[in-house]
Amino acid sequence: MPKARKTNRTGLQGYHILFLFTNRKDSWSYDLNIAGSWKWFILQNKTNCVELEKRDKSPEVSSHSQLFLKSNSQQLVIQKTSGVLLAFSASWSLIARSESRDRVFRFYPSLINPTLPSGSRGDPLLLPLNPLGTQPEPVASSRLTPSIPTAPDYHHHLPARRCSSSTASSSSIVSIAFSIMHRSTGLMRIIPRGATKARRANNSLLNAARTLVTAAKPALPVVAAKPCLKGFAKVEAEKPRSYATEAKGQIGQIKTVIGAVVDVQFDGENLPPILNALEVQDFGQRLVLEVAQHLGENTVRTIAMDGTEGLVRGQKVVDTGAPIQIPVGPACLGRIINVIGEPIDERGPIAAKTQMPIHAEPPEFVDQSTTPEVLVTGIKVVDLLAPYCRGGKIGLLGGAGVGKTVFIQELINNVAKAHGGYSVFCGVGERTREGNDLYHEMIETGVIQLNNDKSKAALVFGQMNEPPGARARVALTGLTLAEYFRDEEGQDVLLFIDNIFRFTQAGSEVSALLGRIPSAVGYQPTLSTDMGGMQERITTTRKGSITSVQAVYVPADDLTDPAPATTFAHLDATTVLSRGISELGIYPAVDPLDSKSRLLDPRIVGQEHYDIATAIQKLLQDYKGLQDIIAILGMDELSEDDKLTVERARKVQRFMSQPFAVAEVFTGLEGRLVPLKDTIESFKGILAGHYDHLPESAFYMVGAIDDVKAKAEKLAAEMKNN
């Protein structure tokens, strides 16, 4: 009988620990293949743990336990044993066999085995059994307590776990205790009854199992968790980083490339989940693929975030184990990034300490704040008739060439600089020239400062030349940046999206590439879902707010088109830019009758503001009704009251024009920012008839009413001189 000795506090230091348990009714053999030094222990009773030396003979440990050791020093067979404790210092694999029921369980350690550097002694990993039958968790510990570990009488209290096969019986119940890294489950194959006999052996299955066991490699690091066994001290391990590039998963091969759609086939059964990011290997540049569909036969269909020119079948693709992750934080301010977080401003890498996935759930309802507050923009027609909500969603609707981008640039100039917080500009499917102009303009105005870290804006671009996958995700990239500033730093963030229609358009392209049946007007059937998933993340919480201004292109000036119509449901205010008004030369070409805001309420903006706004809208509506009469009969056929209505309405219409600072190079007029109080007083005076004596042209392209008076005097002087 080999000499047995009690363990001490250093006997297990540097070893991984594994418990094996069987029942009395069956005999099981365990083939434990270990690469490295190892030790065996027997649980003699609740408090004692006896170490055994490597011998061939069978020791008598206790009255109810017997251990038989094979001559092979790295294998052992256990028969009718209540518990065995194994300690080892390197990778392992385990095969459990039921001698009487012809059952073979193979546990492949690719998900569960820990790793220690060669020749070193690291922290042991405790892999105990949870007696309650729930999933045990690993415990990283650099020391063991001075006393022997307390182990319960597992033979009497251990809940049995039945085999999944229909032929399993009570005599073929095995309870094997081990823990899985990161709460995963080990890969277990059950070979049918009798398959191990020579005449019925499934050699291909057995050989495949042996190959997998032999080829299994350590994959995941040791992490800290709560202890499941008394007597072992818990020591916190370093928290694992969650960067996508550090969680490499399975490797697959490209099977099909059709434009932006790439099909990837994997060998294993664990396919990457939907929305996971894959990276193409040996491509010369970083090419990210996002999983969109599972096709069967271990194949996933992905959408490329960049051009696929040069891809070939058979090229290796690795699963990053997470969705697309981007750098976030103050390091991104003043920088331009693309959809996958790479800098594209030629100013070197971004030194961000944090990365976040672009796909996230919206804030819980209880965490949101719904107190309305007016955001003053300095643009007269907006502040009076369709005021914006701080922390709300604002839509800029208009056809091509009516001034949506210029309007957004003016808002950045007026609001972002006066606001003092951070801004994120997201260019979705628009012109590269406009993005370049915006970047240099921000540098000139001081919003972006290249020589220090005082920049106030970050830019995210996925322009017209990008594939549909990038254009469909770049809005989420910009939103993720804004969410970080809101949730982690408590900022009130301004998020500008130009153009939200391109987000819908890219989603339609992706949907067609994936073979989905189109819906109304050819849009994707998931249009409402895609839009809602993004818009619901733009909200105000108790920590901070995101105020979003979104340019919405209206195809063929049709507001009933499904794309803009779906967007309306999520907006707090809509500013409609009209082609008819732009043809009159009035900029911004805001339609005062079609533009709406839920904040135009006397309880929010005040009674005076509300009364003046509604009076202006009534005046313009009356003028619109008289235009047909004027076109047919002329002004002379109108009554005196109608003539006065037309004169004041035309002055109001021209007074709604305003010179923009960002368009000064084109108009030659200095930009004007009008306070809300001056706006209300100016329109109030026009309605009251205080300025009926001033010429109509004096109200065109000016700021407050004082500018109107000055311009009228200037015009009068010019006429007098002529």
Residues acting as catalytic residues: 404, 430-431
- Cα angle 554-581-589, degrees, rounded to a multiple of 5: 65
Distance, in Å, from the CA atom of 378 to the CA atom of 97, rounded to the nearest integer, reads 79
Tokens 């070193």 found at: 120
**Spatial separation of the C-alpha atoms in residues 535 and 670, rounded to whole Å:** 36
Cα–Cα distance for residue pair 685/367, rounded to 1 Å: 44
**Residue pointed to by tokens 């899985």:** 180
Angle at CA 83, nearest 5°, toward 82 and 89?
165
| Cα–Cα distance, 143 to 421 (Å, whole number) | 50
User: Tokens standing for 679?
Assistant: 């706006």
* Nearest residue to 82 via CA among 30, 152, 21: 21
The H or E element containing residue 32 is strand 27-34
Distance CA 485, CA 420 (A): 13
CB 258 within 8 A of CB 327: no
481 CB-contact burial (10 Å; exposed 0-12 / middle 13-18 / buried 19+):
buried
Residue 208: what residue type? A
Side-chain half-sphere exposure of 385, counting CA atoms within 13 A = 25
Residue 695 is encoded by which pair of tokens?
Answer: 């010429």
At 502, list the tokens.
Answer: 């391109």
Q: Which tokens sit at 578?
A: 């009209």
Neighbours of 183 (CB within 10 A): 12
**What's the CA gap between 23 and 44, in Å, rounded?**
15
- CA dist 191 and 99 (Å) reads 13
Residue 181 is given by DSSP the state G
Whole-angstrom distance, CA of residue 51 vs CA of residue 63 = 17
Instruction: Pull the structure tokens for residue 148.
Output: 């022997």
* Phi and psi, residue 41, nearest 5°: -140, 150
If you search the block for the tokens 């005097």, which residue do you land on?
A: 713
| Cβ–Cβ under 8 Å, residues 513 and 259 | yes
Q: Which two tokens stand for residue 146?
A: 């001075």
Q: Could you give the angle at which helices 640-655 and 607-633 cross, rounded to 10 degrees?
A: 120
Compute the half-sphere exposure of residue 552: CA atoms within 13 Å on the CB side of its CA.
31
Sign of CA dihedral 362, 364, 370, 371: negative
Query: For tokens 């620990």, what's the residue?
Result: 17
CA angle 349, 354, 360 (to 5 degrees): 115
d(CA 64, CA 488): 59
